[in-house]
Amino acid sequence: MEDTTIHEIDFALINEYFTALERQGPGSREQTIKALGFLEHLSDTTKIADLGCGTGYQTMVLAQNTEATITTLDLYAGSIDRLLATAEHLGFKNRIQGVVGSMDALPFRQEEFDVIWSEGAIANIGFEKGLQYWRNFLKKDGYIAVTYESWFTETRPEEIEAWWHDAVPEITTIGHNIILMQQAGYVPVAAFALPEQCWTDHYFVPQQARQEEFLKQYPGNKSVENMIAFLRREAKLYEQYKQYYGYVFYIGRKI
C-alpha cells in the first residue's frame, strides 16, 4: 500500500524489525566521528547523554573515541538490552548505562551533562522542542549534537514534500534550523549534511534481507506487509529525490 504512513505502523513491529539491524536510521561511524571532532575539552570526566539511542551503534563509536561516561535512553527496552549486551562485549560496561524512558520526560538532573547526543531521533518530539527542552539538562558551554531531516533546497517536487511533511511535519531548511538553534540558546558550531552512503550503504541496503526475513516470519500479516511497503517506498523516494533533502548534523554550544 503506497498510501500507508509512518503513523499507521505499529510501534512494536517497528521496534522488533529495527532492533535486529545495526542502525535504525541513516548515518555512519565516520560521520559520528566527524561530528565528535567539533567538540572541545572532552575528558574522562565528560558526561554524555545519548537520547533515542536505539541499539547503540553510535554509542559504541562515542565510547571508542572518547573517555566519557555515556548514559543512553530509549523508549524501547529491547533496544537498551541489546545496547548493554554490546557494551559489555566491547568492554564498555563500566562507562555505559542504559535507561528506558522518553526523550520528552527525561529522568535526569538539571545541567547534568556536558554533551547531549541524538542521531535520527529528535524528530520524534520536534527539533525546536527538543533543543529547548534538552538544554535544561546541559551544563553551561555544553554541546548538543543531533541529526535531523532537512530540506537542501527552498522548493521541491510535491510528491516528496507531501511525504516528508506527513512523516516530519516541522521539516524545514538548514538555514532555518540554524536560526532555531540560536533562538533556543546555543551558539551554532557546525552543520553538515550526511553523505548519500549513510542512507544507501548503511540504512537501505542492510534492510533488504531483513525485509524478506520479516515477511516470511509473518506470512499474510497485513500490518507487516504495509510496513515493508512503506520502507521500500522510503528507499525508492530517496533514490528519486535525494538532491532535495537528507539528514544534517547540527552541533551547538549552550550559552
Mean pLDDT of 137-153: 98
Q: What percent of the chain has pLDDT over 90?
A: 95
Domains by residue range for the chain, with CATH:
25-195+243-254 (3.40.50.150)
User: Which candidate, 78, 82, 48, 40, places its Cα nearest to that of 64?
Assistant: 48
Q: Which three cell numbers stand for residue 208?
A: 533488504
Which residue in this structure is represented by grid cell 524528530?
Answer: 123
91 class by beta-carbon count within 10 Å (0-12 exposed, 13-18 middle, 19+ buried): exposed
Task: Note the pLDDT of residue 4.
Answer: 63
Q: Which of 7-11, 101-105, 176-180, 220-224 has the lowest mean pLDDT?
A: 7-11
Helix axes 174-183 and 127-134, enclosed angle (nearest 10): 30
Count Cβ neighbours within 10 Å for each residue of 183-203 and write b for 16 or more, e otherwise: ebebeebebebbbeebbeebb
Model pTM score:
0.95
Q: Are 113 and 217 in contact (CB under 8 A)?
A: no
Model confidence at 1, in pLDDT bands (50, 70, 90)? very low
Q: Are 194 and 247 in contact (CB under 8 A)?
A: yes
Q: What percent of the chain has pLDDT over 70?
A: 98
In whole angstroms, how far apart are CA 198 and each of 4, 14, 157, 215?
Answer: 24, 20, 23, 25
Mean pLDDT of 140-166: 97
- DSSP category for residue 204: I
Count Cβ neighbours within 10 Å for each residue of 110-122 and write b for 16 or more, e otherwise: eebbbbbbbbbbb
pLDDT per residue over 68-116, tens digit each?
Answer: 999 999 999 999 999 999 999 999 999 999 999 999 999 999 999 999 9
Mean pLDDT of 149-166: 97
